[in-house]
Every structure is written in C-alpha cells, then in structure tokens.
Structure 1
Amino acid sequence: MSHELRTPLNSLLILAQLLAQNPTRNLTAKQVEYAGIIHSAGSDLLQLINDILDLSKVEAGKMDLTVETVSLARLLDYVEATFRPLTSQKSLSFVVRTSPEVPSELVTDDYRLRQVLRNLLSNAVKFTEQGGVELRIEPADEDRVPELARRGGGPVLAFRVTDTGIGIAPQHLESVFGAFQQADGTTSRKYGGTGLGLSISREIAYLLGGAITAESTLGKGSTFTLYLPIARPDSADAVTTRTQRELQDAGASDPDVRGAGREPEPAATTLSALPGPLRRRRLLVVEARPGGLLSLVAENAVGDLPRYGDPAAGDGVEIITAVGAQEAAATLATNPCHCVILDLDLPDGAAASLLEEMERDPSLQGVPVLAHSSRGTAAPDTRPLRERNGSGLLELITGLDELRERIVLHMGADRPGDVLPLVHRPDTGSPWDPDLDRSLAGRTALVVDDDDRNLYAITGILELHGMRVLQAENGRAALEALALHPGIDVILMDVMMPEMDGYTATAAIRAMPEHSGLPIIAVTAKAMIGDREKSLASGASDYITKPVDADELIGRVKRQLAP
C-alpha cells in the first residue's frame, strides 16, 4: 500500500512544485498561488498516508524500535524549538517544567518519544485559543500509574501536557483515542485533522512500555499524561549509556522551570560528545537560534557515525552551535572546526558576510561549509553565493536529507579532502532556472517506471535542466533501451514494475562489464526498513523515495555525474 498510495502522489507533488516555481514566468500570480495550494494539500495528504502507515505497522507488530540513551535536556530543547514559535503565533503562554527528581537520561526510543510528545503538544496548541500550554515532567505517583506502565517494575516518569483549550466531554474522553476519531463532528469540521495522532501515540506508548491517560473538563481544558518507564522493559541491559553530555543552554540549569512564557536566553554553545574514529572533531552549526532545525539534523547525523574511540581520551565529534554570524566568527577564532553548517536565511545578509570573513582568513579557506536555505538557492540574495569563486569548499544544499548525508560524509572522513564535494564550485544556478544552471545540459538519462504519470513528471524535471530523456516501462524495456542507446549517462530506476522489477534489472545491468560503473538511482515508493539496503545490494548507486523532491532528485543526479 505504501507503493500504491505514494506513486500517484509523487507526480502530483512534483508537477505542482514545477508549476509553483513558474520557471518560464508565463503563469499569473493567481495561477502560481493555485499551484502552491495544490502542493500544500498534497503534502498534507502525504502526512496522512504516513500516519496511516505508522498505525498499520503498529497494529501488524512491524514497528521496530531503536532503544538508546536519551538526553532529557536535548529532548526539551527540541520541544522548545518546535512549539514556542507555534504558541507565540497564537499569543499563548508555553511553559516546560521538570521536577528536580527527574533523571538526566532515559533509555527509550528517542524518535518515537518525540513523535508522541509532538502529537500531544500539537493537539494542545490546536485546540487552545486563549491561555496557554504546559508540559510538566515529574516522577509518577505510584498510585496513579496505569497497570500497562508497571510492566517493567522500574521507576516511571509522567509527561503531563496541560492546556486551557476547549476540553472534552466525559462521554467522548475515551473515543478520542480511536483511529480517525475526534470528540465530535463539530470539532472535526472546525479544527480539521485525521484523528490518528492520539491513536498512534497510545500504541507507541505501549511499545515503549508506557501508557497514556486523559483528563478533561469541557470548556476548561485537558491534561494528557504519558507514563513512561525511565528504562524501557528488557532494554536496560542491552543499551550502553552514552557519555553524559555537557549542556550549556541557559534554560537547562533550572531544574523546575524552562520557559515560563518567555523566550529562552540564547546560549553560546551546546556541546554534544559522541565516540568517533579520530581525536575530538568539531562541527559548527550556525543558525538564528539555539536548538534550531539544523542543529537537530546535525545531532541526528552524528548519531549515525560509527561509535568507536575513547570519549575520555578526547575522541569523538563535538557539535558546537553558534547563534548568528558574530558568535560564529568568535567561535571559529578560538575553536578550529572540521566542518561548518551555515543557515543562509540569517537576517541582514549575515551568512554572506561570514563566508567573506572565512575566505579572507587563510586558516579557514579549506574548511568545508554546508550552506542550507529553506527557500531554495534561486532566491535573489543567494546569487552572490552562487557566483562566489573563493577557495573554501562551499556546498549549497536545499534538502535536509541531503544535508544529513553530507554531514555524515564530512565528519566520517579522515581528512576534508577525502570527501568529493557536492559541487567543486558553488552552484551556478538553481534547479528551477535553466538560464543559470546548465551543468546537466546535453546529458542523457533513462527513466524506468511503469506509471505514465511518474514518467511524465520526472521527465519534466530532467528536461527543464536540458537533459535528453529516454523512457522505459519496465526492467526488460530498460535493458533493450540500454542496448540501443549506449550513450546513457544515468538511469532512474523504479523498483516495483511488471515483467522485470528494478532489483532484477539493476543486477542484470551490473553484470554487463561495459556498464559496471553506470550510475543507477533507485526511485521507489518503498520506504520501509531494509528497502535502501536491498536497492544498494542489487547494484544501485543511490536511492531516493517517492514522492520525489525535485531539488533532491537533481542534486543526486549531479552527484552521480560529477567528475
């Protein structure tokens, strides 16, 4: 069903994105707005599909957990960074409190715990128009812990999410945990939503060894409590506790109140140590606020690095977060860094100014800079970056997945020069402006897919960049096309196709000596655990999931065709 649901959505999102970018400037402003709405609605549908698949995996017993040591301080930083902007937009207070008795670390699945808290807090914000939202973390009262959360026999924490919203009538309190359910039809129509969040959250809580309860008074607000064991049952012995991270966030030192309706004071650095292959290496993240999105991506990427080395001896990776360009410059002056992640959306052109300072400093000219912009690289204020000819290793990146992969490559290499740059010079353009970006012009791509809509959508992206595109409807037709057109530069290979699937076709191509090095990118709606490994094992050079992001697709094609 992942394949059947995502395949039509793939072409919808790609073509809507192409229209919204209006590369030929022949659409009216209203038509561009319509395309943007289509893309936004398609993205909402994708989120619904992801929720349904999550629920299906839980009910089928196929949801795998990654149990690890979770820093409570980092979890709260994530909560602050995610929900303070949302509450500020609605003029709500937002308070996060932790009891002094709460331990600094938990043993659980970090990603799934965040998913549950995200669902509970999102609901609290959505259904609250006045007042505020509070998250309080404290040791659970033994008399109130549900039986489901007592399975491990160990201590249990209570994560209480309280709001001053519309509340829930007593007769509807239990029904809100049912799939596709909200309190009543009127609520559903007014506030929207699928009613899957609480259902998924309760199932995940059970998998984590805990439980969720609800208390509410109609018209006065609600309290949803996640009871979670400090160590997931049967997991404490199997998990090696990570080295305690040194936290220097101003809010983390207060054990009782984090926030209290105010913005957290900016912290100069947030240090995170993990074992690594070399002596301690530094990754500097420069963004507008502490604990932002790029910091979360960096932490996630560093967490995937091989965990070896002796942290006590100074091995590993250290993530340093600088708030703004001025603080970043001061950090670089005192702490040599292996790699820099830079938010191009810093206000007042601060990102470009920082790059100019780095270029003037001979000691920083060889430091790789991974520059990310959420607005894409076609924005007018990124033109100086695209045209820059400095000696630094600047890479312009728009996709978070691509950013994460580049972090892993740079921080896992023995030397910066060991990593092939995404581009040897800054991009000369944007995927949406063929007049600026002609690096793929004249190259030939073979697109293999049994869905005509996907063939049309992906062909449109590639042709926009001046590529010649050949098409095949299955693996067998792809082999025939390859025999007739030996000059093919790259293949985009769907996986699930009739007659001959993508795995078999890829393996057959790799068996031909003349095509052993031909780049093959697996493009598939299969996004389950093990699919990436199966594609790469069959001989694919890279892997991308549907719905395909146009920027990410072009970035991967460029990477495969780089010298």
Structure 2
Amino acid sequence: MGLRITADDPPAENSAVIGQRNEPPSGDADLRRLLAGLTSVRNGDFTTRLPVDGSGLVFDIAVVFNGMVDQLALFTSEVTRVASEVGTEGILGGQASVPSANGAWRDLTASVNSMASNLTGQVRSIAQIATAVAGGDLTRKIDADARGEILELKTTINAMVRSLRETTRANQDQDWLKTNLARFSALMQGRRDLEVVADLIMQELTPLVSAQHGAFFLAEETRSGTRLRMIGGYGCAVDGDPPRTFRLGQSLVGQAARAQRTIAVDDLPPGYVTISSGLGQAGPTSVLVLPIVVEEQVLGVIELAGFTPCTAIQRDFLDQLMESIGVNVYTILANARTDVLLAESQRLAAELQARSEELQIRQEELQISNAELEEKAALLATQKTDIEAKNLEIEQARQELEARAQQLATASRYKSEFLANMSHELRTPLNSLLILARMLAQNGERNLTPKQVEYADVIHSAGSDLLQLINDILDLSKVEAGKMDINCEPVQMRQLLDYLDATFRPLTAQKGLEFRVSADPALPAELFTDESRLRQVLCNLLSNAVKFTESGFVELRVELLDPSPAAAEGRVFGPALAFCVGDSGIGIADQHLETIFGAFQQADGTTSRKYGGTGLGLSISRDLAYLLGGRITAESEPYEGSVFTLQLPVVHPGIGDPGPDSGELSAFLLQQGFGPGSAAPYGKPADDEVLKGRKVLVVDDDARNAFAVTSILELHGMDVVCADNGREALDLLVRTGDIDAVLMDVMMPEMDGYAATAAIRADAAFTHLPIIAVTAKAMPGDRDKSLAAGATDHVTKPVDADELLDCIRRSIAGG
C-alpha cells in the first residue's frame, strides 16, 4: 500500500506503544504512529514501540521498527556502560557486546571496543611502568602503541625513567668510588713497611677493578739512575720472568713513569702475558699502567691486566687512588728518611761525646805538661813561647768544646720540642681513631657484621701499636732528659704474675710454645715500686722472648736474691728479686749482647731481617730498670736461647730502706698508708649512676676528638655540650650555669686550656667545678702545669675510655 506524510498531518503522541487509542485503524493513523515513533527515537527515547497487531506492510514496518529500536537501545546501553566503566569508574578492559549488530552498527561497536581496548592497554602499560619505578626497577619502559597526547605522555614517562636510571647509576658509581677511596685510605693508614703496603694494595685493588694480574713497582734511586723494582704482585711472582726491574722509559712501566701519564692498551695480542689458575690459562685483553706521582716526583708504577677493560668509573677511581697511594708512599719514605736522620743525629752526638772526652784527656795531659814546664821555667826559658802557644790551643779547644756542647744542648732541646709537637700531632687523630674503633668493635647496637667488628679490632690494634711506638720514643726522650717520673706503690706479687700469665699465655699458645711461670716460695707477698714501669719492662722482655722463639718454651722465674753482690755495686738495697725471662729462641751472639741495649739497635739490624721492631724496647727497659733501683743482665747462646734477668729491690731505694725483714717491710708499708685492705688513693670505680644525668662541657678545637669523647659520655647517660676554644667555654659556663664537669683540651687557638682554666678559677662561682685537662703532648711537666693552672686532674691522648670515665667519677665525687 502507498503511504504519504504531509505537513498538515498532526504529530503523534509519545507513548510506550504508539496508536493505542480508541480510534479505528487507518492508513493515516499508521503513518502518524510511525512518525511519532521515529520522532521519539530521534529524540533519544528508545522505549517507543509500534503495535504489531496488524498485518501486511504495516505489520512488517512495526516489526522492523521495533527491532531497530531494540538494537539502538542495546547498542546505546553497551556503549554507555563501557564509557562509564572506562571514563568514570576507572574499570579497564570492558567491551561492548551487541551480538546482532550488522553493517555500520557492527563497525561502530568494533570502534568503541577498539578505543576501550587501546585505552586499557595504554593505561595499564603506564601503570605497570609506574609500579616498577616505585619498586626500584628502572630497566623497563612503556612499549604500548599510542598517538597524540598519550604518545607525548608515553615519551615523557620513558624519558623520566631513563633520566632516573642514569642518575641512579651515576650516584651508585660515585658512592662506590668514594667508599673504596676511603677504604684504601684506611687500609694504608699507619703503615710503615712499603712492601707490606704494596702487597695489601695489590691484593685489594686488582679484584676490585675486575683485573686478574697486578704488579706494584717502587721507584728507587741507584748509581745508574732511577729504577722501578717490583715489590708487590697479584697473580704473579715478585721474582721471576718477565724481568721485575725497569729503567725510566724501558717498557710501558718505564714509559709511564717517564711521561707521568697513564697508559692503557686494549686488544692485546695472543701470548703477551698469561693469566693462569688451577683449571686453565688465557691471555688478558687489556693492560693499564698507572704512575704514582706526588708533586711531579715519580714514586712508583702500578700495572693491571685483565680480560675486560676498566669502566669509566673504575678509571676515575684509579686516577684518584693513585694520588692517595702517592701521599701514603711519600709519607712512608719520609718517615724512613726521618729514622735515618735520627740515627745519624745520635751517631753525631756519640761522636761529639767521644770528641769531648778526648779533648778532656788532652786538656789534662796539657795541664800536666804545663806544670812540668813551669818547674823547668828557668832552664827552659826558650820554650816559654811554645808553652804559651799550647795554652792558647788549649783555650781554643775548650771554647770549641763549649760551643759544641752548646750545639748539642740546642739539638737536644729541638729534639724534645720536636717530639712533643709530633706527639700532639699524632695523638690528636689517634684519640678519635682509637675511641671510635673501640666503640665499633664493641658493636653496642649489634648492627655490624662479624667481619666489620674484626676490621674495627684491626684498626684499634694498629692504632694501639702506633701509640705504643709514640710512647716508646717519648719514654726514651724523658729518660735522656732525666725527667722520667717514678710513682712507687705497693705491688701484689700474685696479681702481677697472674696479669703476666693471662697476657702472654694466649700468645704462646697461638705459636705452639710452652709457657712456664714459677716463683720462689720465699718471695714476699708484695714489693714497693712503680707497677706500671715494672709491667712495661717485664712485658717487653716477654714480648721479645715470644717474638724470637719459633718452637720450645718461654718462661718467667721469680727468685729471691742474696742482696750482697748487687748491693756492692750500689744498685740494689735490702731484699732483692730477680725476674728471669728465658726462652729457647734464636739466641744472641756475644758481640751483640751489649749493643742490643742501645736505642734503635737490634741483633739483626738489616732491612732484610726476619723479625721487625724499632729497637727501642730494651734501651728503655734498661733505663727504667735503673730508675727503679735495679738493672738488667743478659745471657745467651746462638740458636740455644736467651735469659734476660731484671734485678729489683723489694723496696725502691728512693723512699728509704725498711730493712731486709718481711715483717718490717709490712710495717713500713702500713705507715705509708698501704697494705692489705687499704684503699686506693681515689677509692684506683663508682657505678654509672654517678655519671647519669650529669652535664659535661667538652672544650676541644678538633671536631673528631669532640665527637669521639661525646659518643663515650652519652653512652653512659651524660649530657654533653661542646665549645671550640677557651673563650667560647667561658661564655657557655656563664650562660648555662649547670655544668657538672669540664674536659679541657690544652692546645687550642685564641685561648688555650691553661689560660681558660685559670680564667674559670678566677670566677668564684666555679671555684669547685671539676676541670680535667686533656693533652696530647704527654711531656714532662705537662701534668704539673695543668694542675698549677687550676685543673682538678689530667689525662693524656689518646684517651682511654675507662680511664676517662674513672677520672670524671673521681672529680665529680670529689667536687
């Protein structure tokens, strides 16, 4: 049937089913219902339906219309759902499902799903990369296809990740560089043997930079010019092929030294050098030759070979490390030259002394000759002129002797001042090093690995060895200057022997030696002497015995002596003891028995000697024995052992002789305030409750020492405030007013410790404030000078933590 819609046709009403009216069906009515339905669909209403109760074309149009509306409703619902999930709810992965869609509807559905899928893939890819970056994974990037602003976002995020990855790698490289520079600096610190330093460097450096072969060449001056001799290696023998000594310009080693520039060679030919192990061997592909230069002076060369070239950060590390190695090698060489100069100075002093004695003898001979000439003056008038000339020579010799003596006194004074200043300069860094190393070794927070604790122990041990060497040199200076103080006290024999047994039994056990300690049953229970000096002498003798004994035994015998022979020599008074230290070691030849007691002397003093040491121990021990009123004797046979005997009086002769009877000795000690059950002068320790909550002012211009001391005090519950100098300390005291004690460094700028202590004492408010002087010079008279300035007590650097805490306890309790 034919249908026609005209402009005069009235619009159909919008309802659920168009045409459900009480009017008879007609063609115009069907058209109006169709128009109304189409209008509703155009306006977005997909609930409109046409009745399907007719037949023919109208029925077909209604079915098609209703199917179209259902299709549009389903498509709209699915598209709206997907858009809502993706755009509003943030749910990705949704797809529109319109199974009956065909043609353009199917293409439109596929486009919507493609859009949702692309957006899902892009967002999820960005999310995955963001999650990986947040977790520290900087190796990934966004690979999803994108265009427009999404492509710009993808490019920006990938660039950000790449920049972050490069920055992180650069930071890691710098951290690795700085950490290893610090580690090598600590490794070389305090070393004095170049061959040991070279070996340590090669053992640590070669694997660190992924090399498999390494050699350390030291520059030495010879008659034929500068030579580079190999003194340390990694993966290769120090002596053997190829040659281990080169001239300047010879081979790449000599060329690097001459040009003072690093030489790098990659793609080495086969057979250049062989790196081998127990499983095989192969040739390296790269060689790096680095000169060690300080102030345009070549000190050595390090050569490294490996299967892969060094990275840029490794090259930068090696360049900086060469400067640090150069400084340390230069310092070791300078120390060696200083030792030589010191020995030469002592030799010259000995020659001056011999010359002085020779001149004295000549003067005495000339005086005798002059007397004889005066008696024969009448007969030998013609010889008067000669005699006057000889007298003039004598006077000139005397003046020369006085001038030489003045020079010697000046040199001795300079040496004492030099040792005092060097003591301060060495003890100041040692103070913080020993304190912090000990705190690390104690691992109070339990955050260090056993290996790190072992490193701290090694650092503390090395620092302690250096401190002992400083103390030995200062003791020698004190003895030579006649200013060594002896502080006598009652010494319990049993405690002394137990201390020596506990100290040396582990050392002998470690070497597989038998250690024997025996004492005469008739020994007195105690003797009166300087315990610390006595321990110093005995520890030195026992240490030497352990050092020079490879197998067999080391023993300590204490015997009661008949005082008559020693008393005849004027060295021992009253009851006397003999401390005999014997061993089955290498022994000493007769011609060396006396020289070993000289300063810096050893039985084997060559540079290739098997046993190390400074040669100061026996010299100081002999002088200390003399100051204690005794002496040291030695008996030895080469390869059969030695016996060193320390003879001491039971009571030091400097305080009087109470007599040989042990009962009288005990009575004398009781009169002096000592004896069984007597208290130590300070009462030689209190609970930490004495320290907890106390406020201490630490005055020190060295931040390292202030940090180390502060760490110790805070561990014991103390509050710590710090000042850089004496003037700042005065200001803090006046402002704070609640300081319980002051730790005052002696040597500081602006106002030193002496002046600051005197200024504090000048204020009546601080008359009884405990002030503990801290000095690194440790020379004779320092303690008296500190006490005279107003200090309560005095300690020396490096500060022993227990000694410092005991000193603070005593000072606070006394104040």
* Alignment-derived partner of residue 771 in structure 2: 520
Q: Deviations over 1:18-49 (max 9, x none)?
A: 33234444443322321221111111222222
Q: Is the 8 A contact 2:524 2:662 kept in 1?
A: no
Structural mapping, 1:65-80, within 5 Å:
65=486
Q: Is the 8 A contact 2:698 2:723 kept in 1?
A: yes
Which of 448, 459, 469 does residue 710 from structure 2 map onto?
Answer: 459
When structure 1 is superposed on structure 2, of 174-183 and 466-475 the one drifting more is: 466-475
Q: Is the 8 A contact 2:513 2:554 kept in 1?
A: no
Runs of 5+ consecutive residues of structure 2 not aligned to the other structure: 1-419
Structure-2 change in CA distance of 1:246 and 1:521 (3 Å): same
Structure-2 change in CA distance of 1:173 and 1:462 (3 Å): same
Q: Which has the higher contact order (CA 8 A, sep 6+)?
A: 1
* Alignment-derived partner of residue 96 in structure 1: 518
Report the structure number with the largest CA radius of gyration: 2
Structure-2 change in CA distance of 1:187 and 1:205 (3 Å): farther
Structural mapping, 1:439-518, within 5 Å:
439-440=692-693, 444-462=695-713, 469-518=720-769
Q: Deviations over 1:378-420 (max 9, x none)?
A: xxxxxxxxxxxxxxxxxxxxxxxxxx666469xxxxxxxxxxx
Q: Deviations over 1:348-374 (max 9, x none)?
A: xxxxxxxxxxxxxxxxxxxxxxxxxxx
Deviation at 1:13, TM superposition (A): 0.8
Q: Is the 8 A contact 1:449 1:472 kept in 2?
A: yes
Q: Is the 8 A contact 2:726 2:753 kept in 1?
A: yes
Higher helix share: 2
Q: Is the 8 A contact 1:451 1:473 kept in 2?
A: yes
Which of 672, 690, 698 does residue 307 from structure 1 map onto?
Answer: 672
Taking the aligned partners of 1:452 and 1:229, their CA distance within structure 2 comes to: 47
Q: Is the 8 A contact 1:446 1:488 kept in 2?
A: yes
* Alignment-derived partner of residue 175 in structure 1: 595
Structure-2 change in CA distance of 1:132 and 1:540 (3 Å): same
Q: 2:725 is matched by which residue type in structure 1?
A: N
Structural mapping, 1:110-259, within 5 Å:
112-136=533-557, 137=559, 139=561, 150-151=569-570, 159-184=579-604, 190-208=610-628, 210-226=630-646, 235=653, 238-241=656-659, 244=662
* Alignment-derived partner of residue 57 in structure 1: 478
- TM-score normalised to structure 1 length: 0.56
Deviation at 1:79, TM superposition (A): 5.4
3-state SS of the aligned residue for 2:662?
coil
Structural mapping, 1:276-355, within 5 Å:
307=672, 318-319=676-677
Structural mapping, 1:298-447, within 5 Å:
307=672, 318-319=676-677, 407=683, 422-423=687-688, 439-440=692-693, 444-447=695-698
Across the aligned residues of Structure 1 and Structure 2, the Cα RMSD in angstroms comes to 4.6
3-state SS of the aligned residue for 1:165?
coil
When structure 1 is superposed on structure 2, of 159-168 and 103-112 the one drifting more is: 103-112
Deviation at 1:222, TM superposition (A): 1.7
Q: 1:196 is matched by which residue type in structure 2?
A: L
3-state SS of the aligned residue for 1:222?
strand
Deviation at 1:110, TM superposition (A): 5.7
Structure-2 change in CA distance of 1:448 and 1:224 (3 Å): same
Q: Is the 8 A contact 1:475 1:497 kept in 2?
A: yes
3-state SS of the aligned residue for 1:318?
coil
Which of 429, 436, 442 does residue 21 from structure 1 map onto?
Answer: 442
Q: Is the 8 A contact 2:682 2:810 kept in 1?
A: no
Taking the aligned partners of 1:560 and 1:225, their CA distance within structure 2 comes to: 41
Q: 1:150 is matched by which residue type in structure 2?
A: E
Q: Is the 8 A contact 1:544 1:553 kept in 2?
A: yes
Q: 1:222 is matched by which residue type in structure 2?
A: S
Taking the aligned partners of 1:229 and 1:491, their CA distance within structure 2 comes to: 41
Structure-2 change in CA distance of 1:152 and 1:541 (3 Å): closer
Taking the aligned partners of 1:555 and 1:210, their CA distance within structure 2 comes to: 32
Taking the aligned partners of 2:572 and 2:811, their CA distance within structure 1 comes to: 52
Taking the aligned partners of 1:72 and 1:553, their CA distance within structure 2 comes to: 27
Taking the aligned partners of 2:808 and 2:527, their CA distance within structure 1 comes to: 41
Deviation at 1:124, TM superposition (A): 1.8
Deviation at 1:475, TM superposition (A): 1.4
Deviation at 1:273, TM superposition (A): 7.7
Q: 2:456 is matched by which residue type in structure 1?
A: A
How many residues were matched structurally? Answer: 390
3-state SS of the aligned residue for 1:493?
strand
Q: Deviations over 1:444-490 (max 9, x none)?
A: 54321133332232234445567664432321222233344445454
Q: Deviations over 1:287-340 (max 9, x none)?
A: xxxxxxxxxxxxxxxxxxx725xxxxxxx7534xxxxxxxxxxxxxxxxxx99x
* Alignment-derived partner of residue 463 in structure 2: 42
Taking the aligned partners of 1:121 and 1:66, their CA distance within structure 2 comes to: 23
Correspondence 1:546 to 2:813: no
Structure-2 change in CA distance of 1:96 and 1:25 (3 Å): closer
Q: 2:744 is matched by which residue type in structure 1?
A: M
Taking the aligned partners of 1:554 and 1:109, their CA distance within structure 2 comes to: 23
Q: 1:452 is matched by which residue type in structure 2?
A: A
Structure-2 change in CA distance of 1:123 and 1:558 (3 Å): closer
- TM-score normalised to structure 2 length: 0.40
3-state SS of the aligned residue for 2:706?
helix
Runs of 5+ consecutive residues of structure 1 not aligned to the other structure: 248-271, 277-305, 309-315, 320-337, 340-403, 410-420, 428-438
Deviation at 1:188, TM superposition (A): 8.1
Taking the aligned partners of 1:548 and 1:115, their CA distance within structure 2 comes to: 19
Taking the aligned partners of 1:112 and 1:44, their CA distance within structure 2 comes to: 18
When structure 1 is superposed on structure 2, of 84-93 and 491-500 the one drifting more is: 84-93
Taking the aligned partners of 1:465 and 1:70, their CA distance within structure 2 comes to: 31
Q: Deviations over 1:49-68 (max 9, x none)?
A: 22222211111111234568
Deviation at 1:10, TM superposition (A): 0.7
Q: Is the 8 A contact 1:69 1:241 kept in 2?
A: no
3-state SS of the aligned residue for 2:798?
coil
Q: Deviations over 1:233-266 (max 9, x none)?
A: xx3883335983699xxxxxxxxxxxxxxxxxxx
Taking the aligned partners of 1:69 and 1:499, their CA distance within structure 2 comes to: 44
Q: Deviations over 1:46-98 (max 9, x none)?
A: 22222222211111111234568888787666655655565455341415364
When structure 1 is superposed on structure 2, of 550-559 and 9-18 the one drifting more is: 550-559
Q: Is the 8 A contact 2:584 2:640 kept in 1?
A: yes
Taking the aligned partners of 1:140 and 1:24, their CA distance within structure 2 comes to: 57
Deviation at 1:164, TM superposition (A): 0.9
Structure-2 change in CA distance of 1:188 and 1:422 (3 Å): farther
3-state SS of the aligned residue for 2:596?
helix
Taking the aligned partners of 1:34 and 1:71, their CA distance within structure 2 comes to: 37
Taking the aligned partners of 1:486 and 1:75, their CA distance within structure 2 comes to: 45
Deviation at 1:215, TM superposition (A): 3.2
Deviation at 1:508, TM superposition (A): 1.8
Structure-2 change in CA distance of 1:78 and 1:463 (3 Å): closer
